[in-house]
């Protein structure tokens, strides 16, 4: 039963999960700890495929608890690494780093170079996402040395790609260009057409960030050629969008619209509504730059009609574009309404991010410690809870709602005045 569940995790995940959970009950009756641990590991993998990160972490944790009592260091290293991926998806970068470091320690002890490179590359991404770029580069370069010792050209190309991505995020575009060119050379040597297109795409992005739009276009077209040849549909729409961005910077508006329209058609075939909304917004932006304000507003409204309510970043950009277009069209009433929508979403995002950070902070019996490291959010030693600050915070959380709720009946003019500065900023620009 367990073998069957394991075999269909990637194709029929819900059935696999049901089968594995039934297997777990049977294994628990036999009290065979190695089999129970491995079954928990497979359940964690199934939850990962389903995008249920919390349940996946819980299953990996159950696996790891059992592995503390039995000798299976290889499974422990793999479970720790997989748990780190789920923690990364939940943006718990500190926990993800700790998991990958534990995995790396075990892999090094076992002299398992595959696990070692996985852990090093995983930690590289964790450091990058936490904006700790020197440590990300160091971890990735360590993986590169291992691949070189193994004469693993595919692995070398992967690391050069990761180094390039980290450099782009760190805004070191010259270095990113060198890394991606190295990855491209190795992938051409391997005739790895799937990834040759990706290397060209990253080279195009690097040139775009450097303001070298003609070079970006040249490499973007090469990326598109390979993506179309290999049928790599995941990246075709994004490649068209990047081409459109470069044409827009060069004021080649017709070519920009054509590229965004091509991306839109791909997104429709993929039934990707949010990518469609992005393309419509970008076409609206080009139309505004070209002076076609009515067409711009039409495309932006179409985007507004289909964008997911939870895609806050895209909605922010969309309402900002609407505001600018309405201002240019001297339609100040609708411009102001767009500004209100922008402000409401921005405030919601800011509040949610702050609440999320506070929620993730380590606490003592529910109380916040007095000092934290602002880089990794770890409590600073010696740790202590302030008998002054902690009660004040607790009191504030009770007093604030009773004072804020009456504001819901205040005239809308107060809120409008609060947003007015953004309106005048757009008018002046």
Q: What distance in Å separates the CA atoms of residue 179 and residue 197, rounded to the nearest whole number?
A: 15
C-alpha distances (whole Å) from 39 to each of 19, 65, 101, 165, 223 are: 10, 13, 24, 35, 42
Kindly state the tokens that stand for 343: 């402000």
Is 196 within 8 Å of 188 (Cβ atoms)?
yes
User: What's residue 356's pLDDT?
Assistant: 64
Q: Where are the domains of the chain?
A: 330-429
According to the model, what pLDDT value does residue 420 have? Answer: 44
Q: What is the pLDDT of residue 239?
A: 94
Two tokens, residue 217: 């276009």
User: How distant is the alpha carbon of residue 72 from its chain centre?
Assistant: 33
CB pairs under 8 A, 24+ apart, for 199-206? 199/161, 200/226, 201/227, 201/235, 201/238, 201/239, 201/242, 202/161, 202/164, 202/165, 202/168, 202/176, 203/177, 204/242, 204/246, 205/168, 205/242, 206/164, 206/168, 206/173, 206/176, 206/177, 206/180
Give 310's contacts (C-beta < 8 A, 6+ positions apart): none
How far is Cα 316 from Cα 346, in angstroms, rounded to an integer?
7
Question: How would you classify the pairing of strands 367-368 and 363-364?
Answer: antiparallel
Nearest-angstrom CA–CA distance, 20 and 44 = 10
Instruction: Report the distance separating Cα 76 and Cα 81, nearest Å.
Output: 9
* Residues 413-429: tens digit of each pLDDT: 444 444 444 444 443 33
Positions of the chain with pLDDT lower than 70, given as ranges: 348-356, 393-394, 396-429
């Amino acid at each position: 039963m367990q073998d069957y569940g394991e075999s269909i995790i990637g194709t029929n995940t819900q059935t696999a999960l049901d089968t594995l959970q039934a297997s777990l009950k049977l294994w628990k009756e036999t009290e065979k700890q190695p089999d129970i641990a491995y079954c928990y590991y497979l359940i964690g993998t199934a939850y990962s495929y389903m995008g249920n990160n919390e349940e996946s972490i819980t299953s990996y944790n159950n696996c790891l608890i059992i592995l503390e009592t039995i000798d299976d260091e290889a499974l422990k290293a793999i479970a720790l690494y997989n748990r780190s991926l789920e923690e990364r998806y939940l943006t718990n970068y500190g926990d993800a780093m700790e998991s990958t470091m534990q995995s790396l320690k075990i892999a090094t002890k076992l002299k398992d170079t595959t696990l070692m490179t996985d852990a090093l590359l995983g930690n590289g991404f964790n450091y990058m996402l936490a904006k700790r770029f020197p440590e990300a580069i160091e971890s990735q370069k360590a993986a590169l040395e291992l691949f070189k010792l193994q004469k693993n050209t595919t692995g070398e190309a992967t690391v050069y790609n990761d180094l390039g991505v980290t450099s782009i995020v760190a805004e070191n575009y010259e270095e990113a260009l060198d890394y991606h060119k190295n990855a491209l050379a190795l992938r051409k040597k391997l005739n790895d057409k799937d990834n040759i297109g990706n290397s060209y795409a990253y080279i195009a992005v690097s040139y775009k960030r450097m303001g070298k739009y003609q070079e970006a276009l040249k490499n973007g077209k090469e990326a598109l050629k390979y993506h179309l040849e290999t049928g790599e549909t995941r990246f075709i729409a994004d490649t068209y969008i990047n081409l459109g961005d470069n044409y827009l910077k060069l004021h080649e508006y017709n070519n920009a619209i054509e590229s965004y329209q091509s991306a839109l058609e791909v997104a429709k075939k993929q039934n990707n509504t949010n990518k469609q909304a992005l393309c419509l917004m970008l076409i609206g932006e080009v139309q505004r730059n070209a002076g076609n304000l009515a067409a711009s507003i039409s495309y932006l409204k179409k985007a507004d009609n289909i964008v997911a309510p939870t895609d806050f970043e895209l909605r922010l950009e969309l309402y900002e574009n609407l505001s600018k277009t309405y201002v240019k069209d001297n339609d100040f009433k609708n411009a102001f309404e767009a500004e209100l929508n922008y402000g409401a979403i921005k405030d919601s995002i800011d509040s949610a991010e702050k609440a999320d950070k506070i929620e993730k902070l380590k606490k003592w019996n529910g109380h916040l410690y007095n000092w934290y490291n602002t880089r990794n959010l770890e409590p600073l030693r010696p740790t202590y809870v302030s008998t002054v600050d902690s009660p004040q915070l607790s009191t504030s959380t009770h007093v604030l709602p009773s004072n804020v709720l009456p504001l819901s009946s205040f005239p809308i003019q107060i809120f409008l005045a609060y947003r007015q500065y953004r309106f005048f900023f757009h008018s002046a620009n």
